[in-house]
């Protein structure tokens, strides 16, 4: 054995014990007659010391050559420290070294292996194997493990069976681009990497598995951002002989279990909100309800007052920002510049100060009197000391803009507390959404989502009005899970594919295997998939997922550590019957 104990294990109870430790050199302090070495492993740090009076000279000379991140083995005796360090669990002891073995040397690391490092994101991703040695990343990966284990324990106790599904599958339209894999043995043909195991989990229900789950990799070739990677992990679940309420209850239970087990937080209420109400009150379908600032629609009280900016708008809508009347004119001007950024796209912002004496002062006082502004305050629920921020324009655009402003104000005011958790179900999404580019309807979730009971006939008359038997679970302004009751009979699935623009031949080519399976006694079924990466980040009090992934890609989808993706040689291309046709940029 290279070690008898870990570097986080020893205490004063181990005094006078002979031990063997192995790990990385965190730092060396050479006092001449005495050398101190901080030895680190996954479990913690233990101080070693070498004393010229009691340490053999050869060992002292070897200790003087140690550098940061050298891998060493040290044997010695545990002694109580004269000068204790209360900042680490092993701070009451140290090890007087009698034998020292250098197991491996190290180059000087390109950044310091400390909690607060001097390495930027790009540098740390290039040397990710060094970054993982840092406590924040190490603890994040351990935290992810704990969440995954808690998920497995809960679902297993609920009677779910973990079943693996294939990674090499057939390309099917699910909303994003597929990653494709050429087949050497089937010339000119390709596999696709799964965007989700959707059809397979439905086939498992046809197969009678009843309750399935899988913590599974999924792949989507789409533009990236802080909370999105080309490969990501889902907690994928499906249940047979269930209705929507059964699924909501089961996965409320899972979420409660995780919040209690991982964060020590008890959450009883899982409020439910219709999709249409979420868009009207918050401007998006994943609202953060830890704070207020609900939208107030002001058309009736703000239009027809000679202010043409509002008169010509499809929607005039505002929020009351608590306590923000204290903002200076300069701060408000910066806020107006913020909403006019291309990322937000607003043309401007009207504001109204709600003074402590009950009066109002607005940037459009010329057009609105105190009585008018009092109605703004009533509709937005503004109180004295608040600031009403108003945007106007096309309904969908202005809702998105005000939603972004709402989140920005909450961030600035410290209202998004990472230790508070507010789950929310969003229900009754539209089944279809219109795409201006293709001029046809697309499935808002996926083609296998069932319409709400009794609405199937609406597909022929008012397809845009049909609601999906679908639901998303939102936590702190992030969608952590989404699912639906599935279509489970061939005629309904055929109708759905027809309205999505598939000919019978195309439907057969793409989904024939599933349609065939539905003819062999498919049970009613439904499910949900949680985004594990995002869920872990939120439970860990962070917005971004990168530190909870061992080897993440950057915003261009590249792994800068191994330099992938990368070209393949001509021999491989020929073997796969591929020819490159790269266009000059």
**SS in 3 state form for 243-255?**
CHHHHHHHHHHHH
User: Is 162 known as a binding-site position?
Assistant: no
Residues 6+ apart with CB under 8 A from 108: 67, 68
How does strand 211-219 pair with strand 161-162? Answer: parallel
Q: What is the pLDDT of residue 174?
A: 58
- pLDDT tens for the chain, 585 residues long, are 899 999 999 999 999 999 999 999 999 999 989 999 999 999 999 999 999 999 999 999 999 999 999 999 999 999 999 999 999 999 999 999 999 999 999 999 999 999 999 989 999 999 999 999 999 999 999 999 999 999 999 999 999 999 999 999 998 765 678 999 999 999 999 999 999 999 999 999 999 999 999 999 999 998 776 678 999 999 999 999 999 999 999 999 999 999 999 999 999 899 999 999 999 999 999 999 999 999 999 999 999 999 999 999 999 999 999 999 999 999 999 999 999 999 999 999 999 999 999 999 999 999 999 999 999 999 999 999 999 999 999 999 999 999 999 999 999 999 999 999 999 999 999 999 887 777 778 888 888 999 999 888 888 888 889 999 999 999 999 999 999 999 999 999 998 988 888 888 988 988 999 999 999 999 999 999 999 999 999 999 987 899 899 999 998 899 999 999 999 999 999 999 999 988 866
Locate the DSSP E strands across 3-157. Answer: 18-30, 34-41, 44-51, 71-80, 93-104
> Beta strand 387-393 with 350-354: parallel, antiparallel or unpaired?
antiparallel
Q: Is residue 313 within 8 Å of 333, Cβ to Cβ?
A: no
Please name the helix (run of DSSP H) or strand (run of DSSP E) that holds residue 481, with its range, or none.
strand 478-485
Please tell me the distance from the alpha carbon of residue 476 to that of residue 419, in angstroms, as a whole number: 10
Does 229 show up as a binding residue in the annotation? yes
pTM of the model: 0.92
Bridge partner residues of 95 (DSSP): 48, 78
Task: Tell me how far the alpha carbon of residue 485 is from its chain's centroid.
Answer: 24
442 annotated binding-site participant: no
Q: What is the pLDDT of residue 248?
A: 98
- Beta strands 18-30 and 34-41 are antiparallel
CB 509 within 8 A of CB 555: no
Q: How far apart, in whole angstroms, are the C-alpha atoms of residue 424 and residue 248?
A: 11
CA distance 223 to 585: 19
> What is the pLDDT, as a whole number, of residue 84?
95
Q: Is 531 annotated as a binding residue?
A: yes
Q: Looking at the DSSP assignment, which residues form a beta bridge with residue 451?
A: 468
The rounded distance, in Å, linking the Cα atoms of 435 and 344 is 21
Please check if 372 is assigned to a binding site. no
Instruction: Determine the 3-state secondary structure of 49 from DSSP.
Output: strand
381 is in an annotated binding site: no
**Adjacent-strand bridge partners of 354:** 360
Residue 380, H or E segment: helix 370-380
Q: CA torsion 133→136→138→143, rounded to 10°?
A: 180
HSE (side-chain half, CA atoms, 13 Å) at 451: 22
Which are the contacts of 298, defined by CB distance < 8 A and separation ≥ 6? 310, 316, 317, 318, 376, 379, 380, 390
Burial profile 168-187: b = 16 or more Cβ within 10 angstroms, e = fewer? ebbbbbbeeebbeebeeeee
* Helix locations, 487-579, DSSP H: 490-499, 504-517, 532-539, 570-575
Whether omega for the bond prior to residue 401 falls within 30 degrees of 0, making it cis, is no
- Is residue 386 within 8 Å of 374, Cβ to Cβ? no
Residue 220 marked in a binding site: yes
Structure tokens at 490: 């061939």
303 annotated to bind ligand: no
Q: Is-contact 520 206, C-beta < 8 A?
A: yes
Q: 445: annotated binding-site residue? A: yes
> What's the token pair of residue 279?
């868009």
């Amino acid at each position: 054995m290279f070690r008898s104990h870990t570097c986080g294990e020893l205490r004063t109870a181990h005094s006078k014990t002979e031990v063997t430790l192995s790990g990385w050199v965190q730092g060396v302090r050479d006092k001449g007659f005495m050398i101190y070495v901080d030895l680190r492993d996954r479990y913690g740090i233990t101080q070693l010391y070498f004393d010229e009076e009691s340490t053999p000279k050869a060992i002292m000379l070897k200790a003087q050559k140690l550098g940061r991140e050298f891998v060493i083995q040290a044997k010695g005796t545990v002694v109580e420290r004269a000068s204790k360090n209360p900042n680490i669990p092993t701070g009451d002891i140290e090890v007087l070294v009698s034998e020292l073995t250098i197991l491996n040397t190290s180059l000087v690391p390109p950044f310091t292996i400390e909690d607060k490092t001097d390495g930027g994101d790009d540098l740390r991703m290039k040397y990710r194997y060094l970054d993982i040695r840092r406590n924040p990343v190490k603890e994040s990966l351990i935290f992810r493990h704990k969440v995954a284990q808690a998920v497995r324990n809960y679902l297993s106790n609920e009677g779910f069976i973990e079943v693996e599904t294939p990674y090499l599958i057939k390309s099917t339209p699910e909303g994003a681009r597929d990653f494709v894999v050429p087949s050497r043995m089937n010339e000119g043909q390709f596999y696709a990497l799964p965007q989700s195991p959707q059809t397979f989990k439905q086939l498992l229900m046809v197969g009678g598995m009843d309750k399935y789950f899988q913590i599974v990799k999924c792949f989507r070739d789409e533009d990236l951002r802080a909370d999105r990677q080309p490969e990501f992990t889902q907690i994928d679940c499906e249940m047979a002989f269930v209705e929507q309420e059964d699924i909501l209850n089961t996965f409320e239970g899972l979420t409660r279990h995780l919040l209690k087990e991982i964060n020590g937080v008890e959450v009883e209420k899982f409020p439910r909100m219709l999709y249409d109400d979420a868009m009207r009150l918050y401007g998006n379908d994943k609202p953060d309800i830890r704070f207020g600032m609900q939208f107030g629609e002001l058309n009736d009280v703000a239009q027809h007052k000679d202010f043409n900016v509002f008169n010509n708008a499809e929607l005039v809508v505002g929020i009351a920002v608590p306590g923000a009347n204290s903002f200076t004119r300069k701060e408000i001007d910066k806020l107006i510049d913020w909403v006019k950024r291309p990322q937000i796209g607003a043309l401007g912002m009207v504001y109204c100060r709600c003074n402590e004496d009950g009066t109002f002062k607005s940037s459009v006082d010329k057009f609105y009197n105190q009585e008018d502004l009092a109605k703004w305050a009533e509709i937005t629920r503004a109180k004295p000391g608040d600031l009403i921020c108003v945007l106007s324009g096309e309904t969908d655009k202005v809702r998105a803009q005000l939603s972004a402003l709402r989140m920005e104000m909450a961030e600035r005011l410290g209202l998004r507390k990472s230790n508070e958790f507010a789950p929310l179900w969003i229900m009754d999404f539209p089944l279809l959404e219109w795409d201006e580019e293709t001029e046809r309807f697309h499935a808002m979730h996926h083609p296998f989502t069932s319409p709400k009971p009794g609405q199937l006939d609406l597909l022929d008359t008012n397809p845009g009005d049909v609601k999906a038997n679908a639901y998303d679970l939102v936590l702190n302004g992030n969608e952590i899970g989404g699912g639906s009751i599935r279509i489970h009979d061939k005629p309904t699935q055929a109708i759905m594919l027809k309205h999505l623009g598939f000919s019978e031949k195309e439907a057969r080519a793409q989904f024939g295997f599933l349609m065939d399976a539905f003819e062999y006694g498919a049970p009613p079924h439904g499910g949900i998939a949680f985004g594990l990466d995002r869920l872990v980040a939120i439970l860990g009090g962070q917005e971004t997922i990168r530190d909870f992934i061992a080897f993440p890609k950057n915003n261009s989808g590249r792994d800068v550590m191994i330099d992938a993706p990368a070209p393949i040689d001509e021999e491989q291309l020929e073997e796969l019957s591929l020819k490159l046709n790269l266009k000059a940029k």
